[in-house]
């Protein structure tokens, strides 16, 4: 994208501001940033910001950092480059995870594709995530293969816009209409 994704603008606003306004999440919000990329535009809308202790370690490090800093029993992790994901998806994941006490984590499947984000986790998942990270297993979507993790089919009515990932300027232009 030519710059950190947290520096993108969407509908004329910093993407983080756009997201926090879109979500209107009733509980605490946590922004995880990379070292040296703290306080991106729009960061002030979040309850708290924490920075990964390790640069360039990928999304799994961000998930672990979120689990290390979480102040609630349940956590939903999403990325700033998926602006179609919103409160409906977060609530669906939280509701399903809440109904299944045996699970540590839950993610969605779209057709045959496992979507690693958004991802709902119990705070108790921290040891499993840390173990995988320390073992060099950095694939977030592979959590679905672990015991006590599940992948559920996403509701079809969500549509494809939910799953848009802003990886290129064209992706951003198509979404920002």
C-alpha span between 65 and 73 (Å, rounded) = 15
Pairing of strands 30-33, 13-14: unpaired
C-alpha span between 74 and 95 (Å, rounded) = 10
pLDDT tens across the length of the chain (177 residues): 678 899 999 999 999 999 999 999 989 999 999 999 999 999 999 999 999 998 888 899 999 999 999 999 999 999 999 999 999 999 999 999 999 999 999 999 999 999 999 999 999 999 999 999 999 988 888 888 888 999 999 999 999 999 999 999 998 988 876
What pLDDT score was predicted for residue 176? Answer: 77
What pLDDT score was predicted for residue 141? Answer: 80
Domain topology for 5-175: Spore Coat Polysaccharide Biosynthesis Protein SpsA; Chain A (3.90.550)
SS3 of residue 111 by DSSP: coil
- Within 13 Å, how many C-alpha atoms sit on residue 53's CB side? 5
What pLDDT score was predicted for residue 132? Answer: 93
Where exactly are the structural domains of the chain? Answer: 5-175
Q: Which residues contact 64 (CB under 8 A, 6 or more apart)?
A: 126, 129, 130, 133
What pLDDT score was predicted for residue 87? Answer: 95
pTM listed for this prediction: 0.93
What pLDDT score was predicted for residue 54? Answer: 87
């Amino acid at each position: 994208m030519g710059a950190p994704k947290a520096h993108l603008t969407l509908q004329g606003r910093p993407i983080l501001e756009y997201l926090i306004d879109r979500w209107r999440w009733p509980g605490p919000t946590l922004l995880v940033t990379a070292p040296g990329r703290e306080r991106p535009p729009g960061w002030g809308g979040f309850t708290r910001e924490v920075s990964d202790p390790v640069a360039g370690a990928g999304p799994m490090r961000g998930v672990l950092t979120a689990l290390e800093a979480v102040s609630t029993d349940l956590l939903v992790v999403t990325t700033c480059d998926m602006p179609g994901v919103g409160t409906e998806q977060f609530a669906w994941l939280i509701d399903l995870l809440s109904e299944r006490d045996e699970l540590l984590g839950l993610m969605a499947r779209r057709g045959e594709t496992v979507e690693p984000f958004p991802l709902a986790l119990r705070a108790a998942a921290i040891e499993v995530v840390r173990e995988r990270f320390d073992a060099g297993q950095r694939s977030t979507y592979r959590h679905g293969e672990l015991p006590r993790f599940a992948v559920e089919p996403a509701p079809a009515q969500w549509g494809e816009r939910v799953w848009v990932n802003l990886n290129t300027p064209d992706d951003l232009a198509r979404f920002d209409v």
